[in-house]
Each structure stands twice: as C-alpha cells, then as structure tokens.
C-alpha cells in the first residue's frame, strides 16, 4: 500500500465511527509511524509503505476508532512548544492550562520564587514555568505514583533537573514550607456528570484526576484552604476551574482571605483560570 491508500483507509474507518477529525487523525498517525511530517506525506502520496508500518498504522486506526486519544496512541502531547510524555496515568494537557502558564510567566519574569504544583500529573505546568523562569525553583506533588514516574521522565527530557523535585504525596501532607506561588489543575468535574463526558475522556483519562466530588468543588475547596497555610502573605494561587464554576470558587477564595487578581477566559469566553492573592 502507498501513503494515499493508507490515508484513505484510515480516514474512511474513523469517519464511519463518527470521529470528526478523521482526516487529520489519520495524517498524524501515519506521519508518526513513518517519522515524516504531514507535508511530506501529502507531497509523496504514491510512496510505498512497508508491511510492518502498514500493520502499525492499522492497529493505531483500530484503537483510535475505539476513541483512544491521539496523545495516548503517540505517547506524547505538545504543550508550551514542548513534547510531554503522557499515558493513561496522566491527564492530557489542554490549551486552557497553557493560558495560565502564559500569564504566570509574564507576572514572574526575572523574579526568584518558589513554586508548588498541586496534582502535577505529567508535570507539564511546573516544567513549562521553570523552563521560562530561570531563577525559580519548584516542587510538584501527586498522589499517583505512576503519574510521578511520568513527571520525572518529563523533567529529565526537558532538562529541568536541579531546580525541580517531584514527590508522591498529598498536598494535605505538606508542612513547614512557604511558597510564593501555588498552581493547580485539580479535579473539578461534578461526580454526577462523569458518565456524560466524551468517550475519549471517560474511557481513557484517569478518573482520579477528573472527579471533583459533589458539585466538582470538593478538591478545589481543599486546595484553597490548604494554600492559605502554604503561601507567603501576598503569595499567589493560580487555579484552573471548570466551566461555570467561577461564582462558587470566587466565594470560597474570599472566605479564605484570597483576593482575585486575574481571570483567564477560554476561547468560548468562559472563565477557566483564576489567579488570586493571599491578603492575610
């Protein structure tokens, strides 16, 4: 088979399964297997593909047909212009989180601060921050041993070693530290709505990183409460939140002596990240 025949096969199969990005997905998967850019594939449509690569591609298409995310098939996801290792033990990094990183980099450029990343997962937030904030140091914590193992690999891959430590522990068990900045993308999906998530998410991403309990606020509230004891006065807490959670989260922040400084909206004009100051 050649490139054109394989792309047609993959696109048709994915389209028949209702996957809207069928053509793009087929191109991404074949380019990964052949170690070529998508542009190279399109220019060389008549190029023959080895039987081994054909088998790998068909396997990928079968798995994608069952809604397995592209990031897990490839074992990586681009975030902040870097490729992060991901698997089913870590959430797939998303654009909303990148917006938070961008704002924090602007706020802390050329400063020397200590950062805590709660629920670090793949480590994408803290690693991206430290890659830009060269004078800063950080700690990332997660209760998942397997997530921490992935984060450690990403730390080495991105050469952020001496300024960053990962620990398998709950943020509730952190004492005797004071940070200038705490960042977190905690579980914030209402437990009642987990079964309504897209199949790509529901079947493959770690539920422990999605389940925010009642109203989706259980973990968020604990993070905010704990943060006031871990932050220096005027330290900042940067949180990613769920769609339409702003009013409830802002009340919890105010109750815990935080003043909202910056709201970050997604492309749908929904507030998805909040940066606040501890005022006392």
3-state secondary structure of 90: coil
The answer to the question of residue 82 being in a domain is: yes
Boundaries of domain holding 223: 76-278
Q: How many domains does the chain have?
A: 2
Q: Please indicate, yes or no, whether residues 131 and 26 belong to a single structural domain of this protein.
A: no
The span from the CA of 237 to the CA of 229, in Å, is 12
Read off the pLDDT of residues 4-34 as tens digits, 9 standing for 90 and up.
999 999 999 999 999 999 999 999 999 999 9
The torsion defined by the Cα of 185, 187, 189 and 193, in degrees rounded to 10, comes to 150
pTM over 0.95, yes/no: no
Read off the pLDDT of residues 58-72 as tens digits, 9 standing for 90 and up.
999 999 999 999 999
The span from the CA of 207 to the CA of 85, in Å, is 19
Query: Which residues contact residue 208 at a Cβ distance below 8 angstroms, ignoring those fewer than 6 apart?
Result: 143, 144, 187
Give the model's pLDDT for residue 144: 96
Exposed (0-12), middle (13-18) or buried (19+): which is 148, by Cβ within 10 Å?
buried
Mark which of 24, 46, 66 sits at the end of a domain. 66
Q: How far is CA 160 from the centre of its chain?
A: 18
Read off the pLDDT of residues 164-210 as tens digits, 9 standing for 90 and up.
999 999 999 999 899 999 999 999 999 988 989 898 999 999 998 99
Q: Please indicate, yes or no, whether residues 62 and 80 belong to a single structural domain of this protein.
A: no
| Among 89, 58, 96, residue whose Cα is nearest residue 75 | 89
Q: Tell me, what CATH number does 16's domain have?
A: 1.10.8
The span from the CA of 180 to the CA of 194, in Å, is 34
Residue 243, pLDDT > 90, answer no
Q: Tell me, what CATH number does 82's domain have?
A: 3.40.50.150
The answer to the question of residue 71 being in a domain is: no
Q: Please indicate, yes or no, whether residues 138 and 238 belong to a single structural domain of this protein.
A: yes
Residue 155 DSSP class: H
């Amino acid at each position: 088979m050649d490139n054109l025949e394989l792309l047609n096969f993959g696109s048709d199969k994915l389209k028949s399964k209702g996957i809207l990005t069928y053509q793009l997905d087929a191109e991404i998967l074949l380019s990964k297997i052949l170690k070529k850019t998508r542009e190279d594939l399109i220019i060389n449509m008549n190029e023959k593909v080895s039987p081994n690569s054909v088998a790998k591609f068909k396997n990928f298409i079968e798995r994608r047909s069952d809604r397995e995310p592209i990031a897990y098939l490839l074992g990586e996801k681009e975030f902040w212009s870097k490729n992060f290792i991901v698997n089913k033990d870590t959430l797939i990094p998303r654009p909303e989180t990148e917006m938070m990183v961008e704002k924090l980099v602007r706020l802390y450029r050329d400063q020397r601060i200590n950062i805590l990343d709660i629920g670090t997962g793949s480590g994408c937030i803290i690693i991206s921050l430290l890659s830009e904030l060269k004078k800063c140091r950080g700690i990332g914590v997660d209760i998942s041993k397997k997530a921490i193992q992935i984060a450690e690999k990403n730390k080495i891959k991105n050469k952020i070693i001496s300024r960053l430590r990962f620990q398998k522990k709950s943020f509730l068990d952190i004492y005797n530290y004071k940070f200038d900045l705490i960042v977190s993308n905690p579980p914030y999906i209402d437990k009642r709505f987990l079964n309504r998530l897209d199949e790509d998410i529901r079947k493959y991403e770690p539920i422990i990183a999605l389940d925010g309990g009642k109203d989706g606020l259980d973990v968020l509230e604990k993070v905010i409460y704990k943060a006031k004891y871990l932050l220096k006065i005027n330290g900042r807490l940067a949180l990613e939140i769920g769609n339409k959670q702003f009013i409830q989260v802002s009340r919890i922040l105010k109750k815990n002596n935080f003043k909202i400084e910056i709201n970050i909206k997604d492309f749908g004009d929904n507030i998805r990240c909040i940066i606040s100051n501890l005022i006392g």
